[in-house]
Structure 1
Amino acid sequence: MQVVMPQSDVIILTDPVSDLSVHRNRVSLYPIQGEYSRDKLMLQRIRSYITFLETRLHKLSQNPRDITHYIFTDSDIAVVDDLGQIFRDHPNFHMALTFRNNKGQPLNSGFVAVRGTSDGILRAKLFLQEVLKIYVSKYINASRMLGDQLALAWVVKSKPHFDTSRFAKTVAFSDDIGGTSILFLPCAIYNWTPPEGAGQFHGMPLNVKVVHFKGSRKRLMLESWNFYSATPDIADMLCLILGSGRAKYDF
């Protein structure tokens, strides 16, 4: 993230009892008390986002000019292009989510952007509180995995006359959901996942800004990073063969 956005600060939201040693400039830990068991982890993630936004809102009330935008990501995500343009090109949204053409789970929670104004932080917090309420009341049995995405989809689709057909196109769009202005960004650009298995694709699309190493793809992250760090000039159309794990991957 700091390679493509050198001025960014990285804040790791974590369990207070976890022993994480981080010695990097502009990287800090932010412990949040909660339930971090495997069965409650996705539920806790939303609670941690809400807690963090509450602290930022309080901080901003003390210094209204200190506006900082926020992007929440999973730990298996790599940012490969400057994301500041999201806030420059779309000046009116409160919160951004990524979508894909998936009927049951059109929204992926691995990437969430929040405008750092008091209104943006407040509206994002209220939206996430509604998602949390639906998560607990309707999808608690899926709290280990996917419940957050099901709850996100329920809250968004609950808006009367929401046009779900827009999820089938890789074009960003905005909508007002319960008073929160949501910018919907295509996963194909802002939350792209390499297809799993050898020979399934040959190169990463040039417009991708965020790579999400979901599931077993996590084992590819270190090899990708080591190659990137050791290569001063990577051609746009390079096809990198990663040999990590049980099978090779084209990346």
Structure 2
Amino acid sequence: MRIGVGWRLYLFLLPLLFFLPYLLSVLELHKNSIVEDLPKKNRKKFDHLVLGPAAGQGLPNRLQCQGIKALNKTHFSASSHVASVGDRISFVTVFTIYNTSLDINADGRAINLLSVGNASYSKTERSMAILNVFINFIEVTMPLSDVIILTDPASDLSVHRKGVTIYPIEGEYSRERLMLQRIRSYITFLERKLEEHSQGRRHINHYIFTDSDIAVVDDLGHIFQNHPNFHLALTFRNNKDQPLNSGFIAVRGTPDGILRTKVFLQEVLSIYGSKYMNASRMLGDQLALAWVVKSHASFDTRRFTKAQAFVEEIGGASVLFLPCATYNWTPPEGAGQFHGMPLDVKVVHFKGSRKRLMLESWNFLSSSNLSDMLCLILASGRTKYDF
């Protein structure tokens, strides 16, 4: 009888031996989630910043933060905002407004309003707010630069800002083709600038093609000063499939620089159309960029693993490769911020749902300094927001 009871007890406890490690893992995970105070289980987008520990604590050459207070200062440059005497730098972005009637219901009231600080935005208004913050950062860090917005001639885009030019270019600006159209617009823009040079234009105007969801947080004139021989510059990261990001392309404004960049982008456009049209809404341009670069037999992709600038000849163009860590840094979502923010960061890219963070950062900057604002960004890029 005792043997039967013992056997039954053994059978009862046996499953616990298999489930015990699992239960301990769950308890440990729950404990960690409490320590970090992050809403990991809630997958909904948030309408507020979610602060967490700033990554990179104790690492050399990384921003150190206590909350949203910077303990060390970033390495901001003190350049003259121009590459050399007489040269200018223009920022060029592609931007268009879609059907604004979708923002209003039958009663004429705005729908799907989103609040950031004391302001509420419709979908169109928040896109315009991001564009204006993009311009604001350039005005602060590079006040002698201007902004050129390439857009659909049919778009009802109106930006009344000093130093901002609306530049209509015909094309297909639908959401499904916007990345493809962006390259076409860049090529058309460069062709027109070549025509101006052929008509006797004497001064040099360098161009930096960017997405409109970036914040320039330091002067970029040193790119053209310190690297005098490149035609175009791209930003790279240690990513096997997508090592290049198309959200930042610098172009030397000499006739040769403009021509070689145009030819380079024409090759990218050709590869885009022949190989990556299935990714035309997103990523196709980056995949095409990577294909053009990596298709050259002499190119060593191992150079992408080190965050150091280098120059390589690609199809007749001298291409400067700049590390994303400095010139195209993105606040990671979730817990992926293992290395923190480099002290020499120049450009912050608020991709995807990080755009709320871009607006919040600008609002915070008005009552703080740039280093503290970067701590806010570093501590906030931890979840998916409502943009």
Which amino acid in the other structure matches residue 58 of structure 1? E
Shift of 1:230: 3.1
Shift of 1:141: 1.0
Which amino acid in the other structure matches residue 9 of structure 1? D
TM-score normalised according to structure 2 size: 0.60
Shift of 1:218: 1.1
| Higher-helix-fraction structure | 2
Q: Does 1:37 align with 2:188?
A: no
RMSD of aligned alpha carbons? 2.4
- Give the distance between the partners of 2:271 and 2:215, measured in 1 at CA: 29
How many residues end up aligned between the 2 structures?
Answer: 248
Q: Does 1:12 align with 2:149?
A: yes
Q: Which residue of 2 aligns with 1:239?
A: 375
Shift of 1:94: 0.2
- Give the distance between the partners of 1:197 and 1:99, measured in 2 at CA: 22
Residues 1:243 and 1:185: Cα distance change in structure 2 (over 3 Å): closer
Q: Does 1:158 align with 2:286?
A: no
CA contact under 8 A between 1:174 and 1:181: conserved in structure 2? yes
Residues 1:122 and 1:24: Cα distance change in structure 2 (over 3 Å): same
- Give the distance between the partners of 2:253 and 2:327, measured in 1 at CA: 19
Select the residue among 320, 336, 356 that pairs with 1:183: 320
CA offsets 1:94-121 (integer angstroms, 9 cap, x no match):
0000000000110000000000000000
Q: Which residue of 2 aligns with 1:70?
A: 207
Unaligned runs of 5+ in 1: none
CA offsets 1:62-85 (integer angstroms, 9 cap, x no match):
234221000000011110010000
SS in 1 for 2:321: strand
Which amino acid in the other structure matches residue 239 of structure 1? C
Q: Which residue of 1 aligns with 2:280?
A: 143
Which amino acid in the other structure matches residue 141 of structure 2? V
- Give the distance between the partners of 2:365 and 2:251, measured in 1 at CA: 29
SS in 2 for 1:12: strand
- Give the distance between the partners of 1:89 and 1:246, measured in 2 at CA: 35
CA contact under 8 A between 2:361 and 2:373: conserved in structure 1? no
Q: Does 1:96 align with 2:233?
A: yes
Residues 1:248 and 1:242: Cα distance change in structure 2 (over 3 Å): farther
Shift of 1:13: 0.9
Select the residue among 295, 306, 315 that pairs with 1:169: 306
Residues 1:199 and 1:182: Cα distance change in structure 2 (over 3 Å): closer
CA offsets 1:30-80 (integer angstroms, 9 cap, x no match):
111101111111000000000000111111222342210000000111100
SS in 1 for 2:158: coil
- Give the distance between the partners of 2:264 and 2:339, measured in 1 at CA: 38
Shift of 1:227: 1.1
Q: Which residue of 2 aligns with 1:22?
A: 159
Q: Bigger relative contact order, structure 1 or 2, given CA contacts below 8 A and separation 6+?
A: 2
Question: Which is greater in Rg?
Answer: 2
Residues 1:23 and 1:171: Cα distance change in structure 2 (over 3 Å): same
Select the residue among 187, 192, 202 that pairs with 1:55: 192
Q: Does 1:106 align with 2:243?
A: yes
SS in 1 for 2:364: helix
SS in 2 for 1:57: helix
Shift of 1:2: 1.9
- Give the distance between the partners of 1:166 and 1:246, measured in 2 at CA: 29
- Give the distance between the partners of 1:89 and 1:153, measured in 2 at CA: 25
Which amino acid in the other structure matches residue 234 of structure 2? L
Shift of 1:188: 0.3
Residues 1:248 and 1:128: Cα distance change in structure 2 (over 3 Å): closer
